[in-house]
């Protein structure tokens, strides 16, 4: 295993020359490798060190990386097919929020919250799930009222519904971010309670 690799432009040696290429030669890794096919940018020693470091971090008792990775897996939902749909829509909702697409973010987060609450409370409607979640102290009274206000926002997927209500005060960044926060809070609460493994 080699300790250092040589820059084929200036002949200097590095364990990892990615930064060197950008700063000194104004080349990214891809451009360098196009110019010098089969050239390495990172030494085998560095790769091994990086691999061992990540293994050590993953096994660390200070931070449970398995738990962090599982936070996006909805392991607290027993229905595997629903779990996959939740993962998909969660990713879409986060992308919508990041790209300031308030309406789809609100609809997706509302749908996620409904599914999480209905699944966890074993109820058939969003309204019943909200009431049970409030009674069981799964959601706060403030969250309960906010969710009731936004409950009908999922119907804005139908443009005529939105049109009939005129200027809506629900489709904006405040409500998109509020639903995102409530959704994250629910995921954390339920994730810590139980986990279903297939």
User: Distance (Å, rounded) from C-alpha 4 to C-alpha 16?
Assistant: 8
Torsion angles phi and psi, residue 84, rounded to 5: -65, -40
Residues 6+ apart with CB under 8 A from 178: 146, 150
Residues 6+ apart with CB under 8 A from 143: 182, 185
For the record, the structure tokens of 24 come out as 């000194």
Say which range, 89-103, 156-170, 174-188, has the weakest mean pLDDT: 156-170
Residue 57 has pLDDT above 60, yes or no: yes
Residue 198 has pLDDT above 50, yes or no: no
β-partners of residue 13 are: 6
> Where do you find CATH 1.20.120 in the chain?
72-193
Q: pLDDT-derived band of residue 70, with 50, 70 and 90 as boundaries?
A: very low
Task: Give pLDDT, residue 71.
Answer: 43
Under CATH, to which class is 72-193 assigned?
mainly alpha
Residue 110 has pLDDT above 60, yes or no: yes
Say which range, 37-51, 125-139, 166-180, has the weakest mean pLDDT: 166-180
């Amino acid at each position: 295993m080699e300790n250092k690799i040589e820059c084929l432009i200036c002949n200097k040696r590095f364990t990892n020359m990615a930064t060197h290429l950008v700063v000194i030669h104004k080349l990214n890794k891809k451009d360098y490798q196009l110019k010098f096919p089969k050239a390495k940018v990172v030494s085998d020693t560095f790769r091994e060190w990086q691999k061992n470091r990540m293994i050590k971090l993953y096994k660390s008792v200070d931070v449970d990386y398995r738990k962090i990775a599982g936070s996006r897996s909805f392991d607290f939902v027993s229905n595997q097919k629903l779990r996959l749909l939740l993962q998909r829509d969660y990713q879409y909702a986060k992308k919508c929020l990041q790209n300031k697409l308030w309406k789809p973010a609100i609809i997706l987060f509302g749908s996620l919250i409904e599914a999480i609450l209905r699944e966890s409370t074993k109820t058939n409607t969003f309204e019943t799930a909200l009431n049970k979640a409030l009674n069981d102290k799964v959601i706060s009274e403030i969250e309960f009222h906010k969710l009731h206000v936004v409950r009908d926002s999922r119907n804005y997927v139908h443009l005529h519904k939105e049109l009939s209500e005129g200027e809506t005060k629900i489709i904006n960044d405040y409500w998109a971010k509020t639903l995102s926060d409530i959704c994250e809070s629910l995921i954390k609460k339920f994730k810590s309670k139980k986990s279903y493994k297939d």
